[in-house]
Amino acid sequence: EAGVTQFPSHSVIEKGQTVTLRCDPISGHDNLYWYRRVMGKEIKFLLHFVKESKQDESGMPNNRFLAERTGGTYSTLKVQPAELEDSGVYFCASSSRQGPLYGYTFGSGTRLTVV
Amino acid sequence: GQQLNQSPQSMFIQEGEDVSMNCTSSSIFNTWLWYKQDPGEGPVLLIALYKAGELTSNGRLTAQFGITRKDSFLNISASIPSDVGIYFCAGQNYGGSQGNLIFGKGTKLSVKP
């Protein structure tokens, strides 16, 4: 079974530019989560999709972040315009049922650097 | 918001030594989880704890869910070089979204052969 795939693995962009991160969950997993770790800090929840619907987006930092999951398969997270404080590692995770009790698998992350 | 205090921030130990790290919170969690992150990879679940007072082992790893539900520890016995990585504790409450984990800042473990 293929794991959670994230693309790109690394991205370096200038302040003010736009970046789109992609996550392909494990096939058949309805639940998809985005998390972010800013260097030296904790991993923070951003949002949770159930199929194509946003179940919880309470962790999204501001309206420069837009997450979509059209068709309930892969998801994208767009940052527009990027700011320096957006730098960090963005993780995606998926599960077949809600919550980490039922097999919650993380991807390898996208390391975003805004310069 | 809820925060977890994880300590120590980093550890440098000799191969074969035992390791202990812990997490505390000012609020109660229903579930405690311990993850390990290898360089360039995402966090991988090591142990999940569901009941206050529960003590669970997974090979050389042992974790306990504090009786007050506000803390947890993870022990690693007889460390080996592949134990190197960042260990995160995470808590979850059923009241909010089932997906919303609260993570600690991590403990970076280095093992000298």
What is the per-residue pLDDT across B6-15, written as a single tens digit (0 to 9) for each? 999 999 999 9
Tell me if residue A102 falls in helix, strand or coil: helix
The answer to whether B61 and B76 have CB atoms below 8 angstroms apart is yes
pLDDT at B95: 56
Query: Tens of pLDDT along B13-62?
Result: 999 999 999 999 988 888 899 999 998 899 999 999 989 999 999 999 99
pLDDT for the residue B56: 94
Under the banding of pLDDT at 50, 70 and 90, the label for residue A45 is very high
% of residues, chain B, pLDDT over 90: 77
pLDDT higher than 90, residue B63: yes
For residue A70, what pLDDT is reported?
A: 86
Q: List, for residues A81-92, the tens digit of each pLDDT value.
A: 999 999 999 999
- b/e per residue A19-49 (b: at least 16 CB within 10 A): bebbbbbbeebbbbbbbbbeeeebbbbbbbb
Q: Does A1 have pLDDT greater than 70?
A: no
pLDDT digits (tens, 9 = 90+) for A102-115: 668 899 999 999 99
Arithmetic mean of pLDDT, A2-20 = 96
Chain B's closest residue to A49, CA to CA, is B99
Q: Decide if A100 and B90 are in contact by the 8 Å CB cutoff.
A: yes
Measured between beta carbons, which residues in chain B are less than 8 angstroms from residue A9? 40
Give which of B100, B105, B107 to mutate to test A binding, by max A Cβ within 10 Å.
Answer: B100
Residues A12 and A113 sit within 8 Å (Cβ to Cβ): yes
Residue A63 pLDDT greater than 90, yes or no: yes
Interatomic CA distance for residues B10 and A51, integer angstroms: 38
CA distance B58 to B77: 11
